[in-house]
Structure 1
Amino acid sequence: MTASGGARTDGPEPPTGRPVADADRLAAVRESGLPAAVDSAAFDRLARLAARLLAVPVSLVTVVDENRQVFVGQHGLSEPWATARQTPLSHSFCRHVVESGKPLVIDDARLDPRLRDNLAIPELGVVGYCAVPLATRDGRVLGAFCAIEHRPRAWSSSDLGTLLDLAAIAMSEIGHRSELARRTASEDRLRVLVSEIDHRVKNSLAVTRSLLEMQARTADDSYIREQLEEAATRVSTIALVHDRLYGHETAASIRLDDYLPRLCADLAASFGVGPEGFRIAAAPVAMPVDRVVSLGLIVTHLVTTAMKRRSDRVTVSFATDAAGDHVLTVGDAADALAQAEAGRSTGLGSRLMSALTRQFGGEATTTPDGGVHIRIPRAALE
């Protein structure tokens, strides 16, 4: 429609009152992440593009909050506005776009009864004005994308269409940023939750181990005492595995050439042995976290067996053979396999090692020098 003084608006006249302060709309502004902290480069490029396409001296991408309009994107503003990148609403035409939720096209603001007293005319030089709303999918208007002339201008439907297209691009950018902010907040909450779970798991394992050790010290039966001590060792092993895996909680896989040396260093420390007590060679194989847990328990039992033999040095090797299968070798650990094969061991560790090896579809044999050699099909660790 054509308003007095050569001003044109699409749709009804803006409503009275201050819908600019509408609580739901202001909540949408906050959720967008604008204008609190914004990297303006992308929006400045859109403003420059609008100025070039429409041949205007000034173009703005504005976000309107309760008391001000902020230029998240701007081109052609004079100082001090270019540096301040905001004005109070006394200098805002865009608030009318927010209030109506519709495009606003003004040929000469000096002749429009709604705008002729607006301070943007004398201080920012706004005379011709064409703007479209920046609205979310649910209709919350965050601000406006506008083109400004310092003289009267008869805007065309093509001009308005160009602004509508650029506004859609701006809203797509705002949507991406909002989604990124939501994901970041969700990841932060998840990180806190994982940290809390880790703390509780560590405490629970420590308490369980202490109780088992206490029961073992007071047990009169040597067999029961041995089983309690072995159970305490297994709990300690799980705690070590958890501690090493916790640092990789966001990873889908873990490299064994990083994990196995760290696990063995922990085991050495639990036996009071320095790092010189181990010789470790691990291929740079990446493996899913759940597979690492099982493999870590197997390695821990074999290494613990070797340490109990008081070996001067325990060798641990994880390699890939010519067929692509994986081969785990632990020196001086044959006792664990011999007892399991003979059916003489009722210990938790040996039963667990045998069960996990079968789970992998692996085959365990002893080496001539008293070690254990476990071949695991490649597919079992993928």
Structure 2
Amino acid sequence: MQFAEDLEHTRLVVSHRYDAARITPAPEFDEIVQLARAVCDAPVAAINFVDEEHEWIQAVAGLPEDCIDDPTGICARVLPPGDVVVVRDVAADARFRSFLQTHPDSSIRFYAAASLLAPDGGHVGTLCILDHQPRDLTAKQKSLLKALARRVINELELRRSLEAERQALREAEKLLADKDQLLAQNKMLMQEVDHRVKNSLQLVSSLLMLQARRLGNSEAGNALEEAHRRIASVAAAHDQLYRASGSDRVDMSVFIDGICGALAVHRPGNIDGIEVRADPVVLGSKRAMKTGMLVAELVMNGLKHAYPDGRRGSIRVELKTEGPIARLSVSDDGVGLPSDFIFEGGKGLGMRLVRSIVDQFEGKVSVDPGPGARFVVEIPKDIESSGRA
């Protein structure tokens, strides 16, 4: 048996394992003491907890509010080492001499208690039975009292598990909130990077155009103007991707319309416009960017070569979905392609760029005969799901 001065281990167990001081009155504990009182045929039953500083009654049954008896005074004196402790006559037991001297009017004469043992073996407190006359417990009553003590521990363990689950949920919610904050910061950073890239491309394009104008219609001037157009096309595609992409999936009807609108602003005066008819095909952002560059390159090729010597006309861009294929066509009604034109063998920078992008798509390109010129590109829509760009 342990006396009150040996309770340190008990107090540490209940304090740190169950945080018992914060447990509020609960019907589960009230039910247990009522059952203990009934099975032991005793007037009073109580659940006694201890923490690092004091002992207290968590639940009690059969003790009138105006009763002078204090069960904690008895429960604090005996902590059984695992079995049921029975004190048949409190008045005849030396362990309670100081209690009786302090409480000379106490009517308690019988005490029995089952230890509340945590799974690691530490004492948490007692489930005790009190009576006003000396007596004993039967073997069956002792067994039932121990079973009820285990139910107290099960309730404490359940509360501990629920609190751990609630804590895990709180931590998960915090992690999700932190994740959302990081995603928002990342999105803001990406937008800032996109904005700076777009401005840088536009600045380089403008500088090239100014230099080309200074050089006039010379080989160097024409080369700078060509470089200007290509950078302008990349800037237009990048700008429209920035505007159209709220996620990693891009509606190509909006994207292509924006690119062609940006290119149409700087079209030659004899070009009436760029007509766009695009189905709402959805592609990933990487695929969308490359498709945009492809559109820009083919449209610029038409703006430059389709209508020479002031001829009037327009450029048409269409995007149709046909099962797993997105079919892109860029056409005009201009002078058409040279009779010796071979797409696969074209050495111009524009055609080499188109071939490079189509190869990345693992797509196909066909060039339809006149009048005018018509490039048709077949793009597998689901290629990104296989991990290819």
Q: Which residue of 2 aligns with 1:181?
A: 177
Measure how far apart 1:191 and its partner are.
Answer: 2.3
* Secondary structure, counterpart of 1:356 in structure 2: helix
Q: Which residue of 2 aligns with 1:261?
A: 257
d(CA) in 2 for partners of 1:369 and 1:106? Answer: 99
* 1:371 and 2:373 aligned: yes
Q: Percent identity?
A: 26
d(CA) in 2 for partners of 1:282 and 1:2? Answer: 88
Say whether the 8 Å CA contact 1:7–1:111 is kept in structure 2.
no
Q: Which residue of 1 aligns with 2:96?
A: none
Q: Which residue of 1 aligns with 2:41?
A: none
* 1:314 and 2:264 aligned: no
Q: Which residue of 1 aligns with 2:222?
A: 226
1:332/1:163 CA distance change after superposition, 3 Å? same
d(CA) in 2 for partners of 1:380 and 1:335? Answer: 36
1:343/1:291 CA distance change after superposition, 3 Å? closer
Say whether the 8 Å CA contact 2:205–2:228 is kept in structure 1.
yes
* 1:207 and 2:203 aligned: yes
**Structure 2, unpaired ranges of 5+:** 17-22, 32-49, 60-69, 74-148, 385-389
d(CA) in 1 for partners of 2:351 and 2:380? Answer: 23
Q: Which residue of 2 aligns with 1:325?
A: 325
d(CA) in 2 for partners of 1:333 and 1:294? Answer: 26
d(CA) in 2 for partners of 1:303 and 1:359? Answer: 20
* 1:355 and 2:351 aligned: no
Say whether the 8 Å CA contact 1:365–1:372 is kept in structure 2.
yes
Measure how far apart 1:340 and its partner are.
Answer: 6.0
d(CA) in 1 for partners of 2:224 and 2:337? Answer: 21
Say whether the 8 Å CA contact 1:301–1:349 is kept in structure 2.
yes
1:271/1:7 CA distance change after superposition, 3 Å? same
* Secondary structure, counterpart of 1:277 in structure 2: strand
Say whether the 8 Å CA contact 2:244–2:251 is kept in structure 1.
no
1:260/1:226 CA distance change after superposition, 3 Å? same
1:222/1:172 CA distance change after superposition, 3 Å? same
Measure how far apart 1:2 and its partner are.
Answer: 8.9
d(CA) in 1 for partners of 2:29 and 2:281? Answer: 58
d(CA) in 1 for partners of 2:219 and 2:315? Answer: 27
* Secondary structure, counterpart of 1:159 in structure 2: helix
Say whether the 8 Å CA contact 2:313–2:332 is kept in structure 1.
no
1:187/1:326 CA distance change after superposition, 3 Å? closer
Q: Which residue of 2 aligns with 1:235?
A: 231
1:201/1:335 CA distance change after superposition, 3 Å? farther
Counterpart of 1:203 in structure 2: which amino acid? Answer: N
More divergent stretch after superposition (306-315 vs 365-374): 306-315
Measure how far apart 1:174 and its partner are.
Answer: 0.4
Say whether the 8 Å CA contact 1:7–1:106 is kept in structure 2.
no
More divergent stretch after superposition (239-248 vs 327-336): 327-336
1:345/1:162 CA distance change after superposition, 3 Å? closer
Measure how far apart 1:358 and its partner are.
Answer: 3.7
* 1:279 and 2:281 aligned: no
Measure how far apart 1:266 and its partner are.
Answer: 1.8
Q: Give CA deviations for 1:163-195 in whole Å, capped at 9, x if unaligned.
A: 112102211210111111210221132123213
**Structure 1, unpaired ranges of 5+:** 16-46, 57-95, 114-153
d(CA) in 2 for partners of 1:170 and 1:14? Answer: 19
Counterpart of 1:315 in structure 2: which amino acid? Answer: R
* Alignment size in residue pairs: 262
TM-score of the aligned structures, taking structure 1 as reference length: 0.56
* Secondary structure, counterpart of 2:370 in structure 1: coil
Measure how far apart 1:158 and its partner are.
Answer: 2.5
Say whether the 8 Å CA contact 1:283–1:319 is kept in structure 2.
yes
d(CA) in 1 for partners of 2:370 and 2:169? Answer: 66
Measure how far apart 1:209 and its partner are.
Answer: 1.1
**Structure with larger Rg:** 2
Q: Which residue of 2 aligns with 1:34?
A: none
Counterpart of 1:162 in structure 2: which amino acid? Answer: L
d(CA) in 2 for partners of 1:214 and 1:336? Answer: 31
More divergent stretch after superposition (262-271 vs 177-186): 262-271
RMSD, matched Cα: 4.4
- Select the residue among 57, 60, 83 that pairs with 1:107: 57
Counterpart of 1:245 in structure 2: which amino acid? Answer: L
Say whether the 8 Å CA contact 1:333–1:370 is kept in structure 2.
yes
d(CA) in 2 for partners of 1:225 and 1:241? Answer: 24
1:307/1:8 CA distance change after superposition, 3 Å? same
* Secondary structure, counterpart of 1:251 in structure 2: coil
Q: Which residue of 2 aligns with 1:294?
A: 290
Say whether the 8 Å CA contact 1:362–1:377 is kept in structure 2.
yes
1:296/1:335 CA distance change after superposition, 3 Å? farther
Say whether the 8 Å CA contact 2:314–2:332 is kept in structure 1.
no
Measure how far apart 1:305 and its partner are.
Answer: 3.2
d(CA) in 1 for partners of 2:366 and 2:3? Answer: 89
